[in-house]
Structure 1
Amino acid sequence: MTDSPIDNFAPRLLAWFDVSGRHDLPWQHPRTPYRVWLSEIMLQQTQVKTAAPYFERFVTALPTLRDLSNAPLDDVLALWSGLGYYARARNLHAAAKRCVELHGGELPRDVEALTALPGIGRSTAAAIASQAWNDRHAILDGNVKRVLSRYHGIEGYPGLPAIEKRMWALAERHVANPQLPGSRMADYTQAQMDLGATLCTRADPACVLCPLQDDCVARREGRTAELPTPKPGKTPPQRFAHVLWAEDARGRILMQRRPPTGIWASLWTLPQADDSALAREWFERHLSGEYEQAQPLSPIDHAFSHYKLQLQPLRWRGAESRARIGDNDDLRWVAREELASLGIPAPIRKLLETPSDA
C-alpha cells in the first residue's frame, strides 16, 4: 500500500464535511462530554433519525450525568422505552453511578478509564474523547469499517478478529496523518460517520458524490457491492412464547418485571410462558377464573440479534388475582395512565395500545 491514500484521506474528508456534513445534530449544540456520551450509546444499533427524538427527551428529563446517576433505573428505562437494546440503558445508568463514585461526577477524559465503564468499548471511548475534547483517537464503528474496507479494498468479514485488527491499524494510520489538524478531531470523527451514513451506504453507495472516490479501491475495481464482505449466513432460530394479558374490573393490567439479566432485563412486560401448559400453570397460580375464557389475539413477531420470537397474546378481562398483589418489586396491577412511566419493550407497548374494545 502506498502512502498516497493515507495522505489524501483526511483532508478530502474534512473538506467534504465542511460543506455536506451534519452540523445540526442535537448533541452538537451544546457539545458536552455527557451529551456526546449519551449520543454515542444511543447510536449503537440505532440510526440518527430514530435516536434524535429520544436524545432530546432524555436530556430534558436528565440533563446532567449526576441527574442520570440519581434517577431510578425504572425512570431511565421508561425514557429508553421503544429504542431497543435495553442493555445500553442499564449500562448507561451503571456507568453514571461509577462516574460519581470514581470520577467526581464527570466522565473521565482518559480512554482507558472510559473503556472501564459499563457499555463503553474501544471505539465508543475514542468517539467520546475525540468529539468531547478533540483528542486524537481513531474510531472503528460500523460506518467506518464500511468506508475503510471499500477505500482500501479489504476482503474478509470485518467482525473477524484478524480483519478488525487490520482495520484498526489503518484507522490509526489515518489519525496519525500530519495533514489532520489536531483541532479538528471532533469534525474528523463526525465526518467519517457521516460519510458512511449518507454516501458510503450498504446498498447503492453514492460514489459519484464521494470525496474519496479517486483513491477508493472498491470504486476503481467495481466492487462496492462486494465490500465489506458480508457476515457468513446463518438462519436465526425461531422461538415461541405465550403472553398473558390480564385486566381487572378497573381496567388495570397485570404487569411483571423481567429478571435483571437476559432479554428485556429489568423491563416491565406482560407475563410470559414458553408453552400452553406453563401459561395455564401461571394463570391458575396467580389468577382466578377460567383459563379457557382467554381471548387469543394476533401473534406478534419480533426479531432479536440472535433469534426470532413469536408471541401469542392471550387476553382476559375482568380478571381477579387469587392473592393480594400489592405494589411489589416483580408483579403489580398498573393503570393504563401509568404505563407511560414504565420501561416496556416496544412490541409489548404496541400490544397494550390495542383499543380496549378490540
Structure 2
Amino acid sequence: MTDTQVGIIGAGPAGLVLSYLLHLEGIEAVVLEARSREYVEQRVRAGVCEQPTVELLRELGVGERLAAEGLPHRGLSLRFDRADHRIDLAELTGKAITVYGQQEIVKDLIAAHAGKGLPIEFEVSDVELHGLDTESPRVSYHDSEGNARELNCAVIAGCDGFHGISRPSIPAGELTAYDHQYPFAWLGVLARTPPSHEELIYTHHERGFALHSMRSPEVTRLYLQVDPIERIEDWSDDRIWHELEQRLETRDGFSLREGPVLEKSITPMRSFVVEPMRYGRLFLAGDAAHIVPPTGAKGMNLAIADVRNLSRALKALLCDNDGELAASYSDRCLRRVWRAEHFSWFMTSMLHTDPNADAFQHRLQLSQLRYTASSRAAATSLAENYVGLPFDRAD
C-alpha cells in the first residue's frame, strides 16, 4: 500500500505534464501507465504544438530539445482549385505553431521525471478506481511484476485516453456524452522522405481531403480521406503514393517526394465530449474527456490546457484547502474544449468531401474556402484558432 496526494492514470502528455506541474508546486504524485516505457516513447501521435503549449513546456524547463529540433511554422497552405492559398499565421496573429512529435514531448517529460526521481510505474494491469465519491479515493492494480498494489490518494486524475479505465469508472447517469461520427476516416502514412513543402498543406479535392505534414526534416507525415470501411491491407504503398499525387497536384507542377513507408493506419473521425469532466475526487483530462477530429490539430494541445487548469485547482484544494477552482474545473476546461470542437468541425467540414453531400453543398464548401483565403477577417479567425488561443482567454 502506498500513499500519495495525486494518483495519475496514464503517462501520455496530459498525465506527465500534470505530474511535473504538481511537482513544481510541491505536490506528490504517482503516474500509472499500462504500456511499457518503450511503447509510450515510440507511440506516434500529434505533431502540431500551439504557441501556448510551446510556451508552457519552456516554462516547465522541458523545452530544450523542442527549441533545438522543433520546426516552427509561420504559415500554412489551404490547397484547393489546384492552387495554394497561404494563411500567414505570424502576420495575422504575431504567433506560430511548432511541429514536434507528441512522442518527443513524452520522451522529454519522462527524462525530466527520471532526473527528478519522480515516480512513473509502467506496465501496470488490472487497474480499478475506488471511493471516488469520498475524500480518500484509491487505485488498485498489479505492478509490472504481477504484485497486487494499492495507491491511496487525495485525488485521482484520469489522463488515460478515450479507451482508458477512468471515464468508465464513473457511475452511469453521472455524465452527459456528446458524440458525433463523421462519414469518413483518415489513412495516415509516415514516410522516410524529406517534406515536399516547407509548411503544412490542407487540401480540398474532389477525390477527398489530403494533408501534407512532417515530423522532421527527414520524415514526412501524410494523410488521405478514405471511407471508414476501408481496410489498410487494400492500400499498397504504390496506391497510397498515386492517390496522394492526384490530390496534392497543382497547376504549377507541385512535386511530391516519395520514400519508404514506415507506418500506415486508418483512423475513424469523431467528435466526443463528456460533461462534467469531474466526478467526486476523479478529474478527467485530455482524451478521457473529449476527442476532436485531427483536422484542427487540437487534441494534445487541449489535453495540456486541461492539466494546466487542473494543476492550479489541485494546488488550491490540497495546499490551501480551497475547493473553488476544483469545483469550477470542468466549466473552465469545457469553454476551451467546445471552442476547439467547433474549430475542428469547421476545418473538417470545409476541407473534406462528404459522400452524402449534394452538388449545392460542395459549391458552398468552395465558397467558404475562397472566402477564407481572400478575406483578412476570415483568415485571421482561422489563424487565431489554429495557433492557439491564450490560456486565460479561452479558459
| Short-chain TM bin | under 0.3
Structure having the larger proportion of residues in helix: 1
TM-score normalised by length of structure 2: 0.23
TM-score by length of 1: 0.24
**Which protein is bigger by CA-based radius of gyration?**
1
Question: Larger strand proportion, structure 1 or 2?
Answer: 2
